[in-house]
Structure 1
């Protein structure tokens, strides 16, 4: 506000005409007041409420883009990506208990190789086996992985328990 008042004072000095018979202090006060009022009006115009769902532009396909599209899609996808990577890392550690075919089915079905999650039909076509056999292999592999994970948790629990005993 002080800087706006200073601008008003400078304008008063530049435009003051003593021949009109007004005192400089009166004229300067009006100039400063006007400058501050103009600034407040300008700020009020830019402080409009903006809805998160108001369109702010369009994408390549001509679809409207809103602020919420930009704000929430990036953070959600980042959160999802971190969660997904943690799940994949956990699954990769358990793959050692599987035979080669089971491992391949799990890698393809859960996108552990290239990020693409294959359908059972796609896996069946690739491996030249039936879809029902893919389903059985997947189920068997997941059970093995579950048992391995559960056994690992039990070992950790037993270790912590043994360390807690005096």
Structure 2
């Protein structure tokens, strides 16, 4: 609900990160929901799905239009009546308890559908492992020195990115020499024979 509010109010031109902006709205929505425990509303599963779809559609339109989409534009993209969009937006912006029953059986609660961002999902874990393996395979096609330089520069070994000077000290060469090695390695990595192995992961992130 807070995320829906953030999507509705977010203005990217101000230069703020959406994640930072959304956090405030989400926290506010949760606070209001806790304060309003007595006012429990049962939400059908299909309505939760519609709210989620509307959030995704609104986010896409913001990126495409460079501004907040109107209810009419959202309705046209989702192929649903404008009145339904307005109804969903109204529901999404109301304070709702995290203990709100979901579905006809009422055996689940709204809180069960809120993702824990602090925990890596199984799908994300698999993607990360595969990406790491593919990256290692691609880097092994470089010379040992080029591979080491790229790993140090981009923190692929210990998670810490090193400066040209730090890498140069490791190889006992000048920072300019490291810059040249890095540039050559990056040109190699941009070649289709190597870059296509990682393209699927990049496209997946963009989607």
> TM-score band, normalised by the shorter chain?
0.3 to 0.5
Give 1 or 2: higher helix fraction.
1
TM (norm. structure 1) is 0.39
Which of 1 and 2 has greater Rg? 1
Q: Which has the higher contact order (CA 8 A, sep 6+)?
A: 2
TM (norm. structure 2) is 0.33
